Each structure stands twice: as structure tokens, then as C-alpha cells.
Structure 1
């Protein structure tokens, strides 16, 4: 691929809309879920697969199940997303979103991989 084409593709990529949101990783065998509010939903599944395949979350129940059961027994879903254009404080927005979805889905203990948040 020539440099002009690479440059054009990079520019096109940069102009794509960005969405923040809430993602879910689900264990297909036991139904446990992991919920996370993320600043960019694009390619997030690849991000988690790479980290889990490299044992990045060692010592966590999600990592243990991933290692024992294999990637094929997990699914990924974007539960909610919104355009980032009007967000002025992403960190605050994600914290609020995370709390809201954890309260809604209660992905703790036998139901999930998240830990309850106290604030």
C-alpha cells in the first residue's frame, strides 16, 4: 500500500464518530457477566480478548474462567452507547454510567465478575 493511501485511510479513521458506552462480557456457560463503562466502544472486544489471552487480569474470577473455559465460551455486547461529541467530563460521565449499570444489573458474586462499588 502506498503512503498516500495509508494517509487517506488514517484520516478516514480519525474522522469516524466515537461512542462511549457500556459493554458486557458474558460467560455463555454459567451466565456470569462483566460490565464496564468505556470511553470508546469501538474495538473494545478486541482489547479485552487481547488482555485476557495474555493473562492481564490474573487472579480475577473472569481471568480464571477465561483460562479454564476458553474464549469461545464468552460473548461481547455493547449494552448502551452515545456519541462523545457533547461530553465535557468523560471520567465523571463514565463513573456515573458505571454506577448506574452496576445497580441495574447487579453483576456480583454468582451473577457476575464485577465487585460492588462503594462511594
Structure 2
């Protein structure tokens, strides 16, 4: 007798194929402090549910960027917006890590989110 959660092999194969068909998107995001206008720019290999994940990290005090974390704690979630600046289908990219770095360089050069304008630190070249 099969267990309650056991799936037969043909159904499992069907589900795996459906999962492979789900498109994932890599891309660049911007978090904006609505009070100060400061922005944070970053790239991720998978944007699915990324805002939810970032909010959770910020709410728990575990976000990597100390300046953004500090302002989030002081001002609260309602003082910030999230925006996807650019996205690409990840399954069409052979080197996602390299592509994310190139995309990040582009957006950092364009937006200059440093010092009074943002939370990012300039990239070492």
C-alpha cells in the first residue's frame, strides 16, 4: 500500500516536466526609501518571490546592507518600495552569475546609488 504522500513514477515524471517548464527570471531590482529618496540596487539569479524574501530578511534584522537595514528598522516597511529594473529569462543565459555582475555594473553606473543617493558601495574595478 502506498503512503499518503507517495506519488507514482509516471505522475512524478509529469510533475518534474511541468516544473522544468516554469520560467525563472534573473534581474536587477531597486529598493527605494520613500522618505529620503535613497536607493539600493542589486541583482539576483531568480526574482521569483524576491521581494517577499528581502522583506523577511529586513524584518528579521538580517539584511546584508547595514544602512538599508538601519533605515528599515527606524522607518518601517511602508517607507520603502520595490521595483524590478530589468529582467531576463534565466533559462536562456549560460552564465547567470556573470550576467548578474554585468547587469549590476550597468545599473550602478546608471543610477549611482552611493553616499547621499543610495545604500550601495562602489564596486572595486
TM-score computed with the length of structure 2 as normaliser = 0.82
Instruction: Report what 2:86 is aligned to.
Output: 80
Name 2:57's counterpart in structure 1: 51
Q: Secondary structure at the match of 1:34?
A: strand
Residues 93, 59 of structure 1: CA spacing in aligned structure 2 closer, same or farther, 3 A cutoff? closer
SS of aligned partner of 1:85 = helix
Partner of 2:103: 97
Number of equivalences: 115
Give structure 1 regions of 4+ aligned residues with deviation exceeding 4 angstroms: 10-14
Could you tell me how far apart the structure 1 residues matched to 2:98 and 2:65 are? 28
1:54–1:14 Cα change, 3 Å:
farther
- Aligned twin of 2:36: 30
- After superposition, give the CA deviation of every residue in 1:54-108 in whole Å (9 maximum; x if it has no partner): 1003771100000000001101010110111221111111111111110010000
1:17 corresponds to? 23
Are 1:69 and 2:84 counterparts? no
Rg (Cα) greater in structure: 2
What 5-or-longer segments of structure 2 have no aligned partner? none
TM normalised by structure 1 equals 0.86
- 5+ long unaligned stretches in structure 1: none
Q: Equivalent residue of 2:71, what SS?
A: helix
